[in-house]
Structure 1
Amino acid sequence: MDARRWTAGLLVTVATVALAGCTAEGAEQRCVTRDGFLECAPDQRGNAPDVTGELLGGGNYDLDQDRGKVVVINFWGSWCNPCRAEADDLENTYQATKGSGVTFLGINVTDSRDKAKAFEKNFGVTYPSLFDPPGRTALDFDIAPNAIPATIVLDREGRIAALRRGAVLQDDLQPVVERVAAEGAR
Protein backbone atom coordinates (compact mmCIF):
# COMPACT_ATOMS: atom_id res chain seq x y z
CA MET A 1 0.00 0.00 0.00
CA ASP A 2 1.47 3.35 -0.91
CA ALA A 3 1.93 6.14 1.65
CA ARG A 4 -0.89 8.30 0.23
CA ARG A 5 -3.50 5.57 0.56
CA TRP A 6 -2.30 4.67 4.04
CA THR A 7 -2.41 8.33 5.11
CA ALA A 8 -5.88 8.82 3.62
CA GLY A 9 -7.11 5.72 5.41
CA LEU A 10 -5.60 6.92 8.67
CA LEU A 11 -7.25 10.34 8.34
CA VAL A 12 -10.66 8.75 7.75
CA THR A 13 -10.16 6.54 10.82
CA VAL A 14 -9.06 9.47 12.98
CA ALA A 15 -12.04 11.58 11.84
CA THR A 16 -14.35 8.74 12.74
CA VAL A 17 -12.78 8.34 16.18
CA ALA A 18 -12.82 12.10 16.77
CA LEU A 19 -16.52 12.20 16.12
CA ALA A 20 -17.01 9.30 18.57
CA GLY A 21 -19.83 7.16 17.46
CA CYS A 22 -20.91 8.57 14.12
CA THR A 23 -22.43 5.60 12.34
CA ALA A 24 -24.88 4.74 9.64
CA GLU A 25 -28.03 2.95 10.77
CA GLY A 26 -29.71 1.10 7.96
CA ALA A 27 -30.56 3.48 5.15
CA GLU A 28 -30.49 6.50 7.50
CA GLN A 29 -27.06 8.03 7.59
CA ARG A 30 -26.19 9.51 11.00
CA CYS A 31 -23.10 11.39 9.84
CA VAL A 32 -22.80 13.10 6.51
CA THR A 33 -20.10 14.84 4.58
CA ARG A 34 -21.28 18.23 3.40
CA ASP A 35 -19.07 20.95 1.90
CA GLY A 36 -15.97 19.25 3.25
CA PHE A 37 -17.29 18.90 6.82
CA LEU A 38 -18.14 15.64 8.49
CA GLU A 39 -21.32 16.43 10.45
CA CYS A 40 -23.07 14.14 12.93
CA ALA A 41 -26.64 14.09 14.20
CA PRO A 42 -27.00 15.24 17.83
CA ASP A 43 -27.56 11.73 19.17
CA GLN A 44 -24.35 10.51 17.51
CA ARG A 45 -21.94 13.13 18.88
CA GLY A 46 -19.07 12.45 21.23
CA ASN A 47 -17.93 14.84 23.93
CA ALA A 48 -14.99 17.11 23.30
CA PRO A 49 -11.93 16.63 25.49
CA ASP A 50 -11.07 19.21 28.13
CA VAL A 51 -9.69 22.35 26.53
CA THR A 52 -7.75 24.59 28.88
CA GLY A 53 -4.62 26.64 28.64
CA GLU A 54 -2.87 29.93 28.31
CA LEU A 55 -4.28 32.44 25.85
CA LEU A 56 -1.90 33.95 23.32
CA GLY A 57 -2.93 37.44 24.44
CA GLY A 58 -2.56 36.59 28.15
CA GLY A 59 -4.83 35.01 30.71
CA ASN A 60 -6.27 31.52 30.77
CA TYR A 61 -9.09 29.73 28.99
CA ASP A 62 -11.32 26.83 29.97
CA LEU A 63 -13.85 25.42 27.50
CA ASP A 64 -16.32 24.99 30.37
CA GLN A 65 -16.73 28.80 30.48
CA ASP A 66 -18.38 28.60 27.04
CA ARG A 67 -20.81 25.79 27.86
CA GLY A 68 -24.18 26.71 26.36
CA LYS A 69 -22.54 28.33 23.33
CA VAL A 70 -21.56 26.86 20.00
CA VAL A 71 -17.75 26.86 19.95
CA VAL A 72 -15.79 26.83 16.71
CA ILE A 73 -12.23 25.65 17.31
CA ASN A 74 -9.61 26.23 14.65
CA PHE A 75 -6.12 24.76 14.85
CA TRP A 76 -3.56 26.97 13.14
CA GLY A 77 0.08 28.07 12.89
CA SER A 78 1.69 31.23 11.54
CA TRP A 79 3.90 29.08 9.29
CA CYS A 80 0.89 27.40 7.66
CA ASN A 81 -0.07 28.76 4.21
CA PRO A 82 -3.61 27.29 4.26
CA CYS A 83 -4.06 28.91 7.70
CA ARG A 84 -3.25 32.27 6.17
CA ALA A 85 -5.69 31.62 3.33
CA GLU A 86 -8.58 30.84 5.69
CA ALA A 87 -7.97 33.60 8.25
CA ASP A 88 -10.40 36.10 6.65
CA ASP A 89 -13.08 33.42 6.20
CA LEU A 90 -12.85 32.43 9.86
CA GLU A 91 -12.93 36.02 11.09
CA ASN A 92 -15.86 36.89 8.81
CA THR A 93 -17.81 33.85 10.01
CA TYR A 94 -17.02 34.76 13.62
CA GLN A 95 -18.33 38.30 13.10
CA ALA A 96 -21.46 37.04 11.30
CA THR A 97 -22.40 34.45 13.95
CA LYS A 98 -21.21 35.75 17.32
CA GLY A 99 -24.59 37.35 18.01
CA SER A 100 -26.21 33.88 17.81
CA GLY A 101 -24.50 32.39 20.83
CA VAL A 102 -21.42 31.35 18.87
CA THR A 103 -17.83 31.88 19.91
CA PHE A 104 -14.55 31.04 18.23
CA LEU A 105 -11.29 29.78 19.70
CA GLY A 106 -8.05 29.47 17.82
CA ILE A 107 -5.45 26.99 18.97
CA ASN A 108 -1.95 27.92 17.84
CA VAL A 109 0.40 24.94 17.50
CA THR A 110 4.11 24.45 16.88
CA ASP A 111 4.80 28.17 16.80
CA SER A 112 6.60 30.94 18.66
CA ARG A 113 4.54 33.45 20.63
CA ASP A 114 5.90 36.42 18.65
CA LYS A 115 5.10 34.86 15.26
CA ALA A 116 1.63 33.83 16.43
CA LYS A 117 0.84 37.32 17.72
CA ALA A 118 2.10 38.87 14.47
CA PHE A 119 -0.15 36.48 12.50
CA GLU A 120 -3.24 37.56 14.48
CA LYS A 121 -2.39 41.24 14.04
CA ASN A 122 -1.58 40.97 10.32
CA PHE A 123 -4.71 38.96 9.52
CA GLY A 124 -7.10 40.88 11.79
CA VAL A 125 -8.03 37.91 13.98
CA THR A 126 -10.13 39.21 16.89
CA TYR A 127 -11.21 35.99 18.63
CA PRO A 128 -8.88 34.48 21.27
CA SER A 129 -6.33 31.75 20.68
CA LEU A 130 -4.70 29.28 23.02
CA PHE A 131 -0.93 29.16 22.78
CA ASP A 132 -0.11 25.45 22.57
CA PRO A 133 3.35 25.02 20.98
CA PRO A 134 3.56 21.26 21.65
CA GLY A 135 0.11 20.72 20.11
CA ARG A 136 -1.28 18.80 23.10
CA THR A 137 -4.83 20.03 22.53
CA ALA A 138 -4.74 18.97 18.88
CA LEU A 139 -3.60 15.52 19.96
CA ASP A 140 -6.45 15.36 22.50
CA PHE A 141 -8.80 15.82 19.52
CA ASP A 142 -6.85 13.20 17.53
CA ILE A 143 -5.52 15.84 15.15
CA ALA A 144 -1.81 15.64 14.46
CA PRO A 145 -0.25 19.12 14.78
CA ASN A 146 1.28 18.70 11.32
CA ALA A 147 -2.19 18.11 9.84
CA ILE A 148 -3.48 21.61 10.32
CA PRO A 149 -5.48 23.63 9.66
CA ALA A 150 -8.44 21.80 11.11
CA THR A 151 -11.75 23.19 12.33
CA ILE A 152 -14.13 21.60 14.81
CA VAL A 153 -17.63 22.84 15.65
CA LEU A 154 -18.90 21.98 19.13
CA ASP A 155 -22.59 22.12 19.95
CA ARG A 156 -24.00 23.89 23.01
CA GLU A 157 -23.46 20.76 25.10
CA GLY A 158 -19.76 20.57 24.26
CA ARG A 159 -20.13 17.69 21.81
CA ILE A 160 -18.32 17.44 18.47
CA ALA A 161 -20.90 18.32 15.82
CA ALA A 162 -18.67 18.83 12.79
CA LEU A 163 -15.06 18.46 11.70
CA ARG A 164 -13.09 19.63 8.70
CA ARG A 165 -9.46 18.96 7.98
CA GLY A 166 -7.98 21.60 5.73
CA ALA A 167 -8.70 25.26 5.12
CA VAL A 168 -12.28 26.51 5.35
CA LEU A 169 -14.23 29.04 3.34
CA GLN A 170 -16.89 31.22 4.90
CA ASP A 171 -19.44 29.91 2.38
CA ASP A 172 -18.88 26.37 3.73
CA LEU A 173 -18.27 27.11 7.44
CA GLN A 174 -21.03 29.59 8.18
CA PRO A 175 -23.94 27.31 7.19
CA VAL A 176 -22.54 24.54 9.42
CA VAL A 177 -22.18 26.93 12.36
CA GLU A 178 -25.68 28.31 11.78
CA ARG A 179 -27.20 24.80 11.64
CA VAL A 180 -25.57 23.81 14.92
CA ALA A 181 -26.50 27.14 16.54
CA ALA A 182 -30.15 26.71 15.48
CA GLU A 183 -30.39 23.33 17.24
CA GLY A 184 -30.57 24.75 20.71
CA ALA A 185 -30.91 28.50 20.33
CA ARG A 186 -31.78 30.15 23.60
Structure 2
Amino acid sequence: MRRAWLSALLALVTAVAVTGCSGGGTFEDDCETRDGVLECAPGTRAPAPKVAGELLDGARYDIAQERGNVVVVNFWGSWCAPCVAEADDLESTYQATRDKGVRFLGVNVNDGRDKAKAFEQGRVTYPSLFDPGSRVALDFQVPPNSVPATIVLDRDGRIAVVIRRGVTQDVLRPIVERVAAEGPAPDGSR
Protein backbone atom coordinates (compact mmCIF):
# COMPACT_ATOMS: atom_id res chain seq x y z
CA MET A 1 0.00 0.00 0.00
CA ARG A 2 2.83 2.40 0.91
CA ARG A 3 4.66 1.86 -2.37
CA ALA A 4 1.45 2.25 -4.37
CA TRP A 5 0.70 5.50 -2.54
CA LEU A 6 4.24 6.80 -3.10
CA SER A 7 4.17 5.82 -6.78
CA ALA A 8 0.85 7.61 -7.29
CA LEU A 9 2.10 10.66 -5.41
CA LEU A 10 5.31 10.89 -7.41
CA ALA A 11 3.43 10.39 -10.70
CA LEU A 12 1.14 13.29 -9.78
CA VAL A 13 4.08 15.49 -8.82
CA THR A 14 5.87 14.64 -12.06
CA ALA A 15 2.78 15.52 -14.08
CA VAL A 16 2.51 18.88 -12.30
CA ALA A 17 6.21 19.56 -12.88
CA VAL A 18 6.01 18.72 -16.58
CA THR A 19 2.95 20.93 -16.98
CA GLY A 20 4.69 23.76 -15.14
CA CYS A 21 7.82 23.48 -17.27
CA SER A 22 6.07 23.26 -20.63
CA GLY A 23 4.21 26.54 -20.37
CA GLY A 24 6.55 28.43 -22.73
CA GLY A 25 9.39 28.84 -20.23
CA THR A 26 13.00 28.20 -21.08
CA PHE A 27 13.76 25.84 -18.19
CA GLU A 28 13.20 22.60 -20.07
CA ASP A 29 14.13 24.06 -23.47
CA ASP A 30 17.64 24.85 -22.30
CA CYS A 31 18.13 21.68 -20.28
CA GLU A 32 19.66 18.54 -21.70
CA THR A 33 18.56 15.05 -20.77
CA ARG A 34 20.86 12.06 -21.18
CA ASP A 35 20.51 8.66 -19.54
CA GLY A 36 18.03 9.93 -16.95
CA VAL A 37 20.14 12.98 -16.06
CA LEU A 38 18.65 16.44 -16.67
CA GLU A 39 21.30 19.19 -16.71
CA CYS A 40 20.38 22.88 -16.95
CA ALA A 41 22.49 25.82 -18.06
CA PRO A 42 23.06 28.43 -15.32
CA GLY A 43 20.79 31.05 -16.93
CA THR A 44 17.82 28.67 -17.15
CA ARG A 45 17.80 27.13 -13.69
CA ALA A 46 14.67 27.24 -11.58
CA PRO A 47 14.98 28.23 -7.92
CA ALA A 48 14.73 25.37 -5.46
CA PRO A 49 11.84 25.44 -3.02
CA LYS A 50 12.31 26.22 0.64
CA VAL A 51 13.41 23.05 2.37
CA ALA A 52 13.25 22.84 6.13
CA GLY A 53 12.35 20.22 8.65
CA GLU A 54 13.54 17.75 11.22
CA LEU A 55 16.64 15.66 10.69
CA LEU A 56 16.69 11.98 11.62
CA ASP A 57 18.60 12.90 14.78
CA GLY A 58 15.85 15.34 15.79
CA ALA A 59 17.75 18.56 15.01
CA ARG A 60 16.15 21.28 12.87
CA TYR A 61 17.47 21.96 9.37
CA ASP A 62 16.91 24.75 6.87
CA ILE A 63 18.53 24.58 3.44
CA ALA A 64 18.78 28.39 3.43
CA GLN A 65 21.81 28.01 5.74
CA GLU A 66 23.62 26.36 2.81
CA ARG A 67 23.39 29.37 0.45
CA GLY A 68 26.75 29.78 -1.25
CA ASN A 69 27.37 26.03 -1.23
CA VAL A 70 26.48 23.44 -3.83
CA VAL A 71 23.88 21.15 -2.25
CA VAL A 72 23.27 17.57 -3.36
CA VAL A 73 19.79 16.46 -2.25
CA ASN A 74 19.22 12.70 -2.37
CA PHE A 75 15.77 11.16 -1.90
CA TRP A 76 15.94 7.67 -0.39
CA GLY A 77 14.17 5.02 1.68
CA SER A 78 15.48 2.11 3.75
CA TRP A 79 13.14 -0.20 1.80
CA CYS A 80 14.70 0.80 -1.54
CA ALA A 81 17.29 -1.65 -2.95
CA PRO A 82 18.82 0.92 -5.38
CA CYS A 83 19.20 3.30 -2.41
CA VAL A 84 21.30 0.67 -0.65
CA ALA A 85 23.37 0.22 -3.81
CA GLU A 86 24.12 3.94 -4.21
CA ALA A 87 24.82 4.82 -0.55
CA ASP A 88 28.58 4.14 -0.71
CA ASP A 89 28.91 6.15 -3.94
CA LEU A 90 27.04 9.10 -2.41
CA GLU A 91 29.24 9.04 0.68
CA SER A 92 32.42 8.77 -1.42
CA THR A 93 31.34 11.73 -3.55
CA TYR A 94 30.49 13.72 -0.42
CA GLN A 95 33.91 13.03 1.11
CA ALA A 96 35.69 13.91 -2.16
CA THR A 97 33.87 17.22 -2.71
CA ARG A 98 32.99 18.68 0.69
CA ASP A 99 36.18 20.78 0.80
CA LYS A 100 35.00 22.46 -2.41
CA GLY A 101 31.92 23.95 -0.75
CA VAL A 102 29.63 20.99 -1.46
CA ARG A 103 27.06 19.81 1.08
CA PHE A 104 24.87 16.72 0.94
CA LEU A 105 21.37 16.32 2.33
CA GLY A 106 19.45 13.08 2.34
CA VAL A 107 15.67 13.16 2.36
CA ASN A 108 14.21 9.98 3.81
CA VAL A 109 10.75 9.33 2.33
CA ASN A 110 7.95 6.94 3.20
CA ASP A 111 9.85 5.33 6.05
CA GLY A 112 9.90 4.86 9.81
CA ARG A 113 12.48 6.82 11.80
CA ASP A 114 14.09 3.74 13.39
CA LYS A 115 14.48 1.96 10.05
CA ALA A 116 15.89 5.12 8.46
CA LYS A 117 18.40 5.64 11.27
CA ALA A 118 19.51 2.00 11.08
CA PHE A 119 19.95 2.32 7.31
CA GLU A 120 22.17 5.39 7.65
CA GLN A 121 24.33 4.06 10.48
CA GLY A 122 27.78 3.27 9.13
CA ARG A 123 26.78 4.22 5.56
CA VAL A 124 26.67 8.02 5.36
CA THR A 125 27.96 10.89 7.46
CA TYR A 126 25.86 13.72 6.00
CA PRO A 127 22.44 14.61 7.50
CA SER A 128 19.04 13.42 6.33
CA LEU A 129 15.65 15.02 6.73
CA PHE A 130 12.90 12.77 8.04
CA ASP A 131 10.09 13.20 5.49
CA PRO A 132 7.70 10.25 5.84
CA GLY A 133 4.94 12.07 3.92
CA SER A 134 7.22 13.01 0.98
CA ARG A 135 6.35 16.70 1.40
CA VAL A 136 9.84 17.85 0.36
CA ALA A 137 9.47 15.92 -2.93
CA LEU A 138 6.14 17.66 -3.46
CA ASP A 139 7.73 21.07 -2.91
CA PHE A 140 10.25 20.62 -5.73
CA GLN A 141 9.08 21.90 -9.12
CA VAL A 142 11.28 19.23 -10.73
CA PRO A 143 10.77 16.38 -8.26
CA PRO A 144 12.11 12.87 -8.62
CA ASN A 145 9.82 10.49 -10.44
CA SER A 146 11.12 7.58 -8.42
CA VAL A 147 13.28 6.79 -5.43
CA PRO A 148 16.20 7.05 -5.41
CA ALA A 149 16.59 10.43 -7.06
CA THR A 150 19.23 13.12 -6.68
CA ILE A 151 18.96 16.87 -7.26
CA VAL A 152 22.03 19.11 -7.39
CA LEU A 153 21.52 22.76 -6.41
CA ASP A 154 24.01 25.41 -7.47
CA ARG A 155 25.51 27.97 -5.09
CA ASP A 156 22.56 30.30 -5.71
CA GLY A 157 20.04 27.66 -4.62
CA ARG A 158 18.86 26.85 -8.16
CA ILE A 159 18.21 23.39 -9.59
CA ALA A 160 21.21 22.53 -11.77
CA VAL A 161 20.83 18.77 -12.22
CA VAL A 162 18.10 16.18 -11.66
CA ILE A 163 18.99 12.48 -11.68
CA ARG A 164 15.95 10.22 -11.72
CA ARG A 165 17.70 6.94 -10.98
CA GLY A 166 20.34 5.48 -8.72
CA VAL A 167 23.77 7.06 -9.09
CA THR A 168 27.36 5.94 -8.98
CA GLN A 169 30.36 8.02 -7.99
CA ASP A 170 31.56 7.88 -11.61
CA VAL A 171 28.40 9.70 -12.73
CA LEU A 172 27.78 11.98 -9.73
CA ARG A 173 31.24 13.27 -8.84
CA PRO A 174 32.00 14.93 -12.23
CA ILE A 175 28.57 16.59 -12.18
CA VAL A 176 29.04 17.91 -8.65
CA GLU A 177 32.57 19.11 -9.41
CA ARG A 178 31.35 20.88 -12.57
CA VAL A 179 28.61 22.73 -10.67
CA ALA A 180 31.04 23.55 -7.82
CA ALA A 181 33.53 25.01 -10.32
CA GLU A 182 30.96 27.55 -11.58
CA GLY A 183 31.65 29.93 -8.75
CA PRO A 184 33.63 30.39 -5.57
CA ALA A 185 32.81 28.58 -2.35
CA PRO A 186 31.83 30.72 0.65
CA ASP A 187 35.48 30.76 1.77
CA GLY A 188 36.58 32.02 -1.68
CA SER A 189 38.08 28.70 -2.80
CA ARG A 190 36.95 26.69 -5.82
Instruction: Report the TM-score when normalising by structure 1.
Output: 0.84
AA aligned to 2:133 is: P
Q: How far did 1:81 drift?
A: 0.6
> Does residue 43 of structure 1 match 2:48?
no
Is contact 2:70-2:103 (8 Å) kept?
yes
1:136 equivalent in structure 2:
135
Q: Distance in 2 between matches of 1:15 and 1:155?
A: 21
Q: Post-superposition shift, 1:107?
A: 0.3
| Structure 1 unaligned residues grouped into runs of 5+ | 1-6, 25-29
Q: Are the structure 2 counterparts of residues 168 and 110 from structure 1 closer, same or farther at C-alpha, using a change threshold of 3 Å?
A: same
Q: CA-to-partner distance for each residue in 1:79-128, whole Å, 9 max, x for gaps?
A: 00111111011000000000000000000011000000000015x21000
Matched, 1:166 2:171: no
Contiguous gaps of at least 5 residues in structure 2: 1-9
Q: Report the RMSD for the aligned CA atoms in angstroms.
A: 2.5
Q: How many pairs align?
A: 172
Out of 3, 6, 22, the residue aligned to residue 27 of structure 2 is 22
Contact preservation (8 Å) 2:106, 2:127: yes
Q: Deviations over 1:114-144 (max 9, x none)?
A: 000000015x210000001001001111536
Contact 1:15 1:163 in 2 (8 A): no
Secondary structure (helix, strand or coil) at the match of 2:68 reads coil
- Does 1:83 pair with 2:83? yes
Which TM-score applies when normalising by structure 2?
A: 0.82
Deviation at 1:166, TM superposition (A): 1.1
Change (3 A) 1:55 1:100: same
Which residue in 2 is equivalent to 1:31? 31
Residues 175 and 34 of structure 1: is their aligned pair in 2 closer, same or farther, counting only changes over 3 Å?
farther
Taking the aligned partners of 2:174 and 2:19, their CA distance within structure 1 comes to 22
Is residue 94 of structure 1 aligned with residue 80 of structure 2?
no
Question: Which residue number corresponds to residue 156 of structure 2?
Answer: 157
* Moved >3 Å (runs of 4+): 10-21
CA distance in structure 2 between the aligned counterparts of 1:128 and 1:18, rounded to whole angstroms: 30
- Alignment partners' CA distance in 2, 1:164 and 1:127: 19
Contact 2:21/2:27 (CA < 8 Å) preserved in 1? Answer: no
